[in-house]
Amino acid sequence: MMNPLLTLAFAPIPVPNNVPTLNPSPYFWLPVPASTMAQPIDDLFNYVMWVSVISCLLLMGLMIYFVTKYRAKSRKDEGTSSSDHHTGLELFWSIGPLPVLLAMFVWGFQGFVALRTTPKDAYEVHVTAQKWKWLFEYPNGYTDDVLHVPNGRKVRAVINAVDVLHSFFLPAFRTKIDAVPGRYTELWFEPTAPGTYPIFCAEYCGTGHSAMITKVVVHEAASFDKWLEDAGKAIDALPPEELGQKMYNQQGCSGCHSLDGSPKTGPSWKGLFGKSETMSDGSSVNVDENYIRESILDPQAKIVRGFGPVMPTFKGKLSDKKISGIIAFIKAQK
Ligand code: CUA
């Protein structure tokens, strides 16, 4: 029978429904390796771990052995030993571990420099973190809530956060960096195996932190450009209501606006269109196309009574077509 605490520790992490099965790891304690940096980092990890395990066993083993062997038989024996100092031994255990530890430093520093030096010819993707969504933007303007990258190509992610600190964590690529509001951070990786791998937020960012999960899809290099072009076209070809639904999920609307009538951080979209709402200043507004558009571009202009001025503006982030799509989607929530 497994200890209940252990059972809990090994319970699978709940993953939102839209994240498909991910590549299982061949290792017991490390995630599946899928970037050029994975092997060197795993090697260093294993080196540090085994040095620690061996030193620990050696120290504890010798200590227990000596404590038992040289135990004082009586009060008289205490402090009478003539061999309480041995210069040779002291030099041995001071200098002996030095190369082992220096190797950790040199090896680790090399890895750090390699991880933090972005190659010049890298393919660039923009990453936006917000409570509690990841959004990826491609050079052709295509946006997606899943990261897609070509296999065998160096990718540079330029990262920022809209609201609070988040952390962009790609365990399969062995890399992670904070997403900071008001500044850009970056990381790079070169995927080595097509497949799907998890992306986590690794910085506590509020009640939805544990659900701030998405995935990275590594495409075959030859088909990536074609995929990106098609994905961009497919978005443009969507009927307004479907485009609106996509934006609802992608742009983080779903974090604050429910579709079932329950109030969250913002008003629910169910039955919203055509409704008369009382604003925080007591005036009343009929929810029509213009009000929705204004609320997306200038959310603080008119706030429904009972809600806080917390919505970020989407000015410059959503095209007119996407805004019209969102309006169509809200209309459909009867
Ligand atoms: Cu975002 Cu934790």
Between the CA of 205 and the centroid of ligand 1 the distance, in Å, is 4
Mean pLDDT, all residues of the chain: 85
Q: What is the pLDDT of residue 83?
A: 62
For residues 114 and 38, the answer to whether their CB atoms sit within 8 Å is: no
Find all residues with CB under 8 Å of 24, minimum gap 6, and list them.
32
User: Taking the C-alpha atoms of 240, 246, 250 and 251 in order, what is their torsion angle to the nearest 10 degrees?
Assistant: 20
Q: What is the pLDDT of residue 14?
A: 42
C-beta 166 within 6 A of ligand 1: yes
C-beta 322 within 6 A of ligand 1: no
Q: What is the pLDDT of residue 82?
A: 56
Between the CA of 251 and the centroid of ligand 1 the distance, in Å, is 15
Which of ligand 1's atoms lies nearest the C-alpha of 203?
2
Cα–Cα distance for residue pair 38/33, rounded to 1 Å: 5
Architecture of domain 239-331: Orthogonal Bundle (1.10)
Which of ligand 1's atoms lies nearest the C-alpha of 132?
1
**Model confidence over 256-310: pLDDT tens digits?**
898 988 888 888 998 888 888 888 888 888 888 889 999 988 888 888 888 888 8
**Model confidence over 180-202: pLDDT tens digits?**
999 999 999 999 988 899 999 99
User: What mean pLDDT do residues 221-227 have?
Assistant: 89
CA-closest candidate to residue 266, choices 217, 314, 318, 317: 314
**Model confidence over 30-69: pLDDT tens digits?**
888 899 999 999 999 999 999 999 999 999 999 999 999 9
Which of ligand 1's atoms lies nearest the C-alpha of 205?
2
Cα–Cα distance for residue pair 164/212, rounded to 1 Å: 13
Indicate the pLDDT class of residue 74, thresholds 50, 70 and 90: confident
C-beta 204 within 6 A of ligand 1: yes
Q: What is the pLDDT of residue 311?
A: 85
pTM of the predicted structure, to 2 decimals: 0.71
Delimit the CATH 1.10.760.10 region(s) of the chain. Answer: 239-331
Q: Which range (2-6, 10-14, 213-217) has the least confidence?
A: 10-14
Indicate the pLDDT class of residue 178, thresholds 50, 70 and 90: very high
Indicate the pLDDT class of residue 6, thresholds 50, 70 and 90: very low
Between the CA of 160 and the centroid of ligand 1 the distance, in Å, is 12
CA-closest candidate to residue 155, choices 231, 229, 222, 221: 221
Helix or strand or coil: residue 100? helix
Delimit the CATH 2.60.40.420 region(s) of the chain. Answer: 123-236
At 244, phi and psi to the nearest 5? -60, -40
Which of ligand 1's atoms lies nearest the C-alpha of 206?
2
Amino acid in position 108: G
Indicate the pLDDT class of residue 246, thresholds 50, 70 and 90: confident
Cα–Cα distance for residue pair 228/234, rounded to 1 Å: 10
User: What mean pLDDT do residues 239-244 have?
Assistant: 86
Higher pLDDT, 109 or 6: 109
Which of ligand 1's atoms lies nearest the C-alpha of 166?
1
| CATH classification for the domain delimited by 123-236, as one of 3.40.50.2300, 3.40.50.300, 1.10.357.10, 2.60.40.420 | 2.60.40.420
Q: What is the pLDDT of residue 7?
A: 46
Rg from Cα positions in the chain: 28
Between the CA of 179 and the centroid of ligand 1 the distance, in Å, is 9
Cα–Cα distance for residue pair 266/43, rounded to 1 Å: 48
